[in-house]
Structure 1
């Protein structure tokens, strides 16, 4: 997810009473949308109509595809269904340029919190697969565990695999209900690998979900191989700081990491975005500004294209610079020591992760390793009712992103230069034998720092869902599988 949210919390004053949060070097904006709405219905649902009128008014003004909004959607529908009915939905054949990303939530407060990395969680992010050598059973692979979370305290770690929830084996028919049950406390039953096969164990771990703030800056390290000083950063969401904080704590943490990289003479860089679904443009700009080579504050990182309705108002209010994100001056910029950067990606690397890849390409060689990224070259804003009379919050797509060369050709994702798939039981982050990191180090040094323990790895089948997809309003992972 790539959304334009101003960390300085600058609200647009709208006649419909909506707060819209933007990013970059934008100033407080007072835009009066000129929208007329009408509806005819037989059975009137006043509450739904009030919310839906608010939805339509904002969508007609902000939505990137506002010229394609249908005029016949029933205002009596539940707001979620009504919002869905307005979208210019993606279709591979009929609408390949369509919308795959806009969403709405019943609680604007929960939406805002999720965008800042706060959610109710046990702290375990995982990927679901059809269990190897079966057609109906489901297995969960732990991608990573948040430090100090309930899952971490229970001893769960990256690479663990579970097959039971609350004593029941996960199958096609029940995994959704088991994982999305209303109970905060769950018991997970785990598998182990023996002779290359999955073996069920009696190991059970109990965790209770809590409201938890995730620090997206997961780890960093430096590897020294001869004259190579290789910086490595695992970054899991583009978030400036904790929910509700006025301080960009996480951006500052990244700044300090790059100052350390610079002090240690880092001359090669690996960015690990494999589980990063995106986030704030401001954080993407912040990170890229510590990496890009030969840039100044007049160098363009990204340009945003808005719809034809709002563009004249934005340009009149702010000038043409509103549509550009420029690199910043950073004390820790290591660009002068870099000729290239390596980025680790998977199908869960999206939006702001891809924005960084695209934005750096005009300035240096960017080599992606892993599997194809998600493909999201558009951005959204958070819209909520400043008067708090409407509790809903929505995140519609409002812009399309381009780099300084006018390139925006990654709507189907970035195909990796070197394809490497993760096993079902991945090794710890930072372990030089871990699949993606191992390949990146090989590409940099020309030698294997450690041989991958292939025998101990289990090849992963095609993934079916991941908790990463739900982060910050992503798609619902709990879907019924086709038989």
Structure 2
């Protein structure tokens, strides 16, 4: 059976058959019809179907199936009722009522003002938040207005950011950002440091934007040897050529070491993750990079991703390395973790930063079509689902722990010292370069205030932290 591309939709029925959704032909479709798609898709593909009583029971073949579906007042509520252990086990399955927008997101097309950020609490357990600019996308409102990495902000349109309002405020297409500043209060310690509001503001506007995930490359030198640095912010297959070209530059400069910066990379395509692993090594063509393991009903779809030696027929610019340095944080998820876990079975992976998200499951997009693929979807609606359908493991059957991957060298980004990405003095990169220069040597970076990031700009894209199967 052809495996569908990823999308998960949550569909819930109203109590009456008369409830309907507008379709693309102005012919209404009933909630019952969409709910039947939701149930059938999850019953076939959902990774945890054997742990969900209403899926184990196989209600689709029961006489009261319609009554069961009619017990839900929306497709979303039915979908959510079939998710296993939402809090701990399946935090990532989702449903959408607009698969066109979803497909654009998977292609790297979103609405953006160019400001990528992380949000932190003022006080542990507190409600109020402040933001730190992580990086600025080129040719955007944020770049035009001079925003820089490390800038602080605390409000939008004069309203303080909080746990409950930040998505609404920062999700607007147009808004005024209120800046804040770091105050060390004249002491050398950080315990009394504060984030203070200022009167400075900037107006930002979002446009439809296609982001190149190959954000920055550098050729650095350590002890007379060349070090390649790549900041890679998303596994988007449309930019595989750009990724291969970046490694071409590393290859041309004879880099002996590689620092792969995935600190803000939320995941993406499994195929692209396999390509990246192949670019790092180069000597394992045909060997297992990662395995996908499906539910009991879809065992025929179990699949091994193997190291490759070409990019759609083009020569692969692999580096043949036996060690790689990976910068990762609590914003590194799914395909980023897959790369770390899969490469670790073959070469030495030096992980630097903080604990990652902990997502080893992969998803596919299920459409309302005869075989759940993109071919001939029901034209009367644009619902789709992106359920978890498989577990990813490395060649040794090791999976990413639910609590995330722990770094070998732990270092957090410092609010008052974010540094310049790709610069030898940026704290996380400096730590990697110090380790390259002399194993276990500690970088002499300025000590600063650290605070856990609890949300980031990727969280405005509801399905960004996904690892999906194409």
Cα displacement string for residues 444-479 of structure 1 (whole angstroms, at most 9, x for unaligned residues): 11398985343xx4x13233321223446148xxxx
1:339 equivalent in structure 2: 322
1:215 equivalent in structure 2: 212
* Aligned partners of 2:213 and 2:232 also within 8 Å: yes
* Aligned partners of 1:44 and 1:76 also within 8 Å: no
User: Does residue 159 in structure 1 map to residue 150 in structure 2?
Assistant: yes
Structure 1 pair 170–362 and aligned structure 2 pair: CA distance change class (3 A): closer
Is the partner of 2:428 in helix, strand or coil? helix
TM-score, length-scaled by structure 1: 0.80
CA distance in 1, matches of 2:124, 2:319: 48
User: Does residue 266 in structure 1 map to residue 258 in structure 2?
Assistant: no
Match of 1:463 among 428, 445, 453: 453
Cα displacement string for residues 144-173 of structure 1 (whole angstroms, at most 9, x for unaligned residues): 221111111111121111112112233456
Structure 1 pair 224–251 and aligned structure 2 pair: CA distance change class (3 A): same
Count of residue pairs the alignment pairs up: 416
RMSD: 2.7
1:354 equivalent in structure 2: 337
Spell out the pairing of 1:179-190 with structure 2 (5 A cutoff): 179-180=170-171, 183-190=172-179
2:118 equivalent in structure 1: 127
Is the partner of 2:4 in helix, strand or coil? strand
1:251 equivalent in structure 2: 240
CA distance in 1, matches of 2:261, 2:102: 26
Cα displacement string for residues 29-65 of structure 1 (whole angstroms, at most 9, x for unaligned residues): xxxxxxxxxx999644552211110111111111112
Is the partner of 2:249 in helix, strand or coil? helix
User: Does residue 286 in structure 1 map to residue 282 in structure 2?
Assistant: no
Spell out the pairing of 1:26-425 with structure 2 (5 A cutoff): 43-46=16-19, 47-71=30-54, 75-90=71-86, 92=88, 98-131=89-122, 135-172=126-163, 174-180=165-171, 183-195=172-184, 197-241=194-238, 250-292=239-281, 294-296=283-285, 298-312=286-300, 314=301, 323-330=303-310, 331-336=315-320, 338-385=321-368, 386-425=377-416
Is the partner of 1:309 in helix, strand or coil? helix
Is the partner of 2:412 in helix, strand or coil? coil
* Aligned partners of 2:358 and 2:400 also within 8 Å: no
CA distance in 2, matches of 1:345, 1:302: 20
CA distance in 1, matches of 2:13, 2:216: 56
CA distance in 2, matches of 1:226, 1:449: 15
CA distance in 2, matches of 1:442, 1:450: 5
Quick check: 64-73 or 418-427, which moved more?
A: 64-73
Structure 1 pair 383–444 and aligned structure 2 pair: CA distance change class (3 A): same
* Aligned partners of 2:14 and 2:31 also within 8 Å: no
CA distance in 1, matches of 2:298, 2:273: 24
1:244 equivalent in structure 2: none
Is the partner of 1:139 in helix, strand or coil? strand
Shift, 1:70, TM fit: 3.6
TM-score, length-scaled by structure 2: 0.82
Cα displacement string for residues 314-335 of structure 1 (whole angstroms, at most 9, x for unaligned residues): 4xxxxxxx61111111445444
CA distance in 2, matches of 1:45, 1:84: 22
Cα displacement string for residues 171-201 of structure 1 (whole angstroms, at most 9, x for unaligned residues): 4564454334xx4210011122344653432
Cα displacement string for residues 300-354 of structure 1 (whole angstroms, at most 9, x for unaligned residues): 1111111121223x4xxxxxxx611111114454443x23101111111111001
CA distance in 2, matches of 1:284, 1:205: 37
Structure 1 pair 48–365 and aligned structure 2 pair: CA distance change class (3 A): same
Shift, 1:293, TM fit: 5.1
CA distance in 2, matches of 1:41, 1:172: 31
* Aligned partners of 2:16 and 2:70 also within 8 Å: no
CA distance in 2, matches of 1:428, 1:226: 22
Which stretches in structure 1 are left out of the alignment for 5+ residues?
Answer: 1-10, 13-18, 23-38, 93-97, 242-249, 315-321, 476-483
2:438 equivalent in structure 1: 446
Shift, 1:369, TM fit: 0.5
Cα displacement string for residues 117-169 of structure 1 (whole angstroms, at most 9, x for unaligned residues): 21122121211112269955321111122111111111112111111211223
Is the partner of 2:297 in helix, strand or coil? coil
